[in-house]
């Protein structure tokens, strides 16, 4: 029997419905939630992501401030813009779209964002809180994946999870979130040996490689009834694809996410949710 398709659009909409209500309640209290985005350079994929984030904000009643900056901007110039956004009381969330052009120090820029406005959950402060189970603002894609498990009532306790990604945006935050739910997590990467065997033993495979020329998760690599979450998105043979061969995987898995329409919409929904959280945090602090 075919597995259940985890529909990111449906789950994202349920998050957005809750966010819309929360945004309206904040407005009743005199707080108008606002997200500032910072886009540097002319990477077309990044521009599309930021545009989608603005459209989603509009849909749920979150205001936006748009900073489109020249790719030649210097580190001090960008730092000054971050400082101004940190100080701006009408801005509750700051999102610096990644990756940054090579000449900019990404760690220094991210670290400069106020942890209270860090709707990406990427500052060292918020990453540390996550590791200690105290985070209010968690990276959007990982928390979106957790929301998918929650929506389908998938119990993670004692499950063996193979995570194929070790980035700050995806793999590391997911590791902590899964561990909090008492899963046993194996974080794999390009140097991992026997990846196929590890996947075949896993109850859940979460994959985020993003290069079909290097890696494809095929149905012979998972066990019967496994859960497959595909975080990747890339262009391959003129199509938008993830890491997994969804059509064959869904015949063997108990649950699987498609690409597109899987994890992608969740990232945006969780950004909106984090912006509401940041606006609430800001109002408590003043």
Tokens at 243, concatenated: 């890491």
DSSP annotation of 113: S
Greatest CA span in the chain, whole angstroms? Answer: 58
- Point out which residues pair with 131 in neighbouring strands: none
Q: Which stretch binds ligand GUN (CB under 6 A): 57-65, 78-86, 91-99, 129-137?
A: 91-99
Binding ligand GUN (rule: CB under 6 A), the pick from 64, 97, 219, 274 is: 97
Nearer to ligand GUN, 141 or 244 (CB): 141
Catalytic annotation present for 66: no
Asked if residue 140 binds ligand GUN (CB under 6 A), the reply is yes
| Nearer to ligand GUN (CB atom), residue 33 or residue 121 | 121
Q: Which of 16, 118, 120, 243 is catalytic?
A: 120
CB 225 within 8 A of CB 253: yes
Note whether 169 binds ligand GUN by CB under 6 A.
yes
141 touches ligand GUN (CB under 6 A):
yes
End-to-end Cα distance, the chain:
55
Contact between 118 and ligand GUN per CB under 6 A: no
The stretch near ligand GUN (CB under 6 A) out of 12-20, 96-104, 182-190, 194-202 is 96-104
Q: Rounded distance, CA 253 to CA 223, Å?
A: 8
Q: Is 272 in the site for ligand GUN (CB under 6 A)?
A: no
Q: Quick one: 72 exposed, middle or buried, by C-beta within 10 A (0-12, 13-18, 19+)?
A: exposed
**Taking each helix axis from N to C terminus, what angle separates 263-285 and 8-28, rounded to the nearest 10 degrees?**
20
Region near ligand GUN per CB under 6 A, out of 69-77, 94-102, 158-166, 179-187: 94-102
Cβ contact 102:73 at 8 Å = no
**Annotated catalytic residue 120:** yes
Eight-class DSSP state of 264: H
Residue with smaller CB distance to ligand GUN, 46 or 160: 46
Q: Residue 123 in contact with residue 110, Cβ under 8 Å? A: yes
List, by residue number, the catalytic residues: 53, 97, 120
Which residues contact ligand GUN (rule: CB under 6 A)? Answer: 95-98, 120, 140-141, 169, 267
């Amino acid at each position: 029997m075919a597995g259940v398709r985890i529909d990111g659009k449906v789950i994202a909409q349920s998050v957005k419905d809750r966010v819309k209500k929360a945004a309206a309640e904040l407005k009743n209290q005199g707080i108008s939630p606002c997200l500032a985005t910072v886009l540097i350079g002319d990477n077309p994929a990044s521009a599309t992501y930021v545009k989608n984030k603005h459209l989603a904000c509009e849909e749920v009643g979150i205001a936006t401030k748009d900073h489109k900056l020249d790719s030649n901007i210097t580190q001090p110039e960008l730092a000054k813009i971050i400082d101004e956004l940190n100080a701006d009381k009408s801005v509750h969330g700051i999102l610096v779209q990644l990756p940054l052009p090579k000449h900019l120090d990404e760690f220094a820029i991210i670290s400069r964002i106020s942890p209270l406005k860090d709707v990406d959950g990427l500052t060292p402060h918020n990453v540390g809180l996550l590791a200690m189970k105290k985070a209010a603002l968690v990276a959007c894609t990982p928390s979106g994946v957790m929301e998918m498990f929650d929506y389908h009532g998938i119990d993670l306790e004692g499950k063996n999870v193979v995570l194929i990604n070790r980035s700050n945006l995806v793999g590391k935050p997911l590791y902590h979130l899964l561990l909090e739910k008492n899963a046993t997590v194996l974080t794999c990467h390009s140097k991992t040996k026997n990846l196929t065997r590890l996947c075949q033993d896993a109850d859940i495979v979460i994959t985020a490689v993003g290069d079909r020329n290097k890696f494809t998760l095929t149905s012979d690599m998972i066990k019967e009834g496994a859960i497959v979450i595909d975080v990747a998105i890339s262009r391959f043979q003129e199509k938008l694809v993830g890491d997994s061969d969804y059509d064959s995987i869904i015949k063997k898995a108990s649950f699987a996410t498609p690409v597109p329409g899987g994890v992608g919409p969740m990232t945006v929904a969780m950004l909106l949710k984090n912006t509401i959280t940041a606006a609430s945090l800001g109002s408590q602090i003043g």
